[in-house]
Amino acid sequence: MKVAYLITAYNNFNHLIALIKKIKVDNSLVYIHIDKKTIIPDFFTSFSQNEKNLTIISTVEVWWGGWSHQQAILDLINEAKKEKPDYYVIMSGQDYPIRDRSEFLELLSKNKEYITIMQGFHQTKPEDRIRYHYFDCFDRRSKSLKTVIYKLAERFLRIIYRKKNYPFSTIYHGSTWCALSGSCVDYILDFMDKNPHFVDFFKTSWCAEESFFPTIIGNSDFINNVSPGIWYTDWEGVNPPVALTEKHISLFKENDIFYNKTYDITYCPYFARKFNDGNQDVRSLLD
């Protein structure tokens, strides 16, 4: 089975190297989009230049919450589809496998779409995300004058404009991180080509990557082949998702099944996040 790992990253390059080494085995293909704003360290450039089956692109500046992250994922897909992989595994540069690769390949052999999906809106995914117009060109977490100006502009637009005609019958939300079959990805790309108004709608939405693919999948026959996502994330703590600790390694040893409160589902994780250059001792324990 040919697996393409699609990774979006912008920092923690020591961990990124560890992740690449862990997943780039057999005939796996690894594609990484690095935020165009990022200054890539020399040691990572030297590493990547000597690796086979590793492709690095930096096509867009990625702004948190903006369409640009979804665009980076699409650029990775378009790069990877040249090799016609059986599965596309979409992940972040702060992920890491928590199960053996053979178990993961056995899971993929079941030919499911591994993405956590919910129908409609939720308190963590409100309708405001798609109803109003959002800009995709500034750092929302900054206190700079640029950020203040754009946020004021968004508030003004709310007064005079909101989207009324949604280009879908039902909205779905889901996790950005997922493992989708080649046929599902082909369907998504074909749908985008035939429905440019759908794409334009989401380009001005908030956190589009949490509703764009899920809504396409949810309104298709692929929804009948969806299984829960396979990523563990801890949202309980300061500035979630929180960096993983030894406590989490113990959880992985003691439990196969976890519960996702937001989606009200149980699932078996094969990857976890987030790891960074500051908790590599935890990753070593996991190895």
pLDDT tens track for 166-217 = 999 999 999 999 999 999 999 999 999 999 999 999 999 999 999 999 999 9
Query: Average pLDDT in the 40-54 region?
Result: 95
Distance, in Å, from the CA atom of 166 to the CA atom of 111, rounded to the nearest integer, reads: 31
What tokens appear for 10 in the block?
């912008």
Single-letter amino acid, residue 177: W
pLDDT at 27 over 90: no
Q: What is the pLDDT of residue 175?
A: 94
**8 A C-beta contact, residue 53 and residue 28:** yes
Question: Which residues pair with residue 54 across a beta bridge?
Answer: 30
CA distances (Å), 58 to each of 40, 75, 139, 188, 250, in order?
Answer: 10, 9, 18, 22, 37
Query: Average pLDDT in the 65-88 region?
Result: 97
Q: What is the pLDDT of residue 237?
A: 82
Distance, in Å, from the CA atom of 156 to the CA atom of 46, rounded to the nearest integer, reads: 47
Q: What is the pTM of this model?
A: 0.96
Q: Which is it for the CA torsion 65, 68, 72, 77, positive or negative?
A: positive
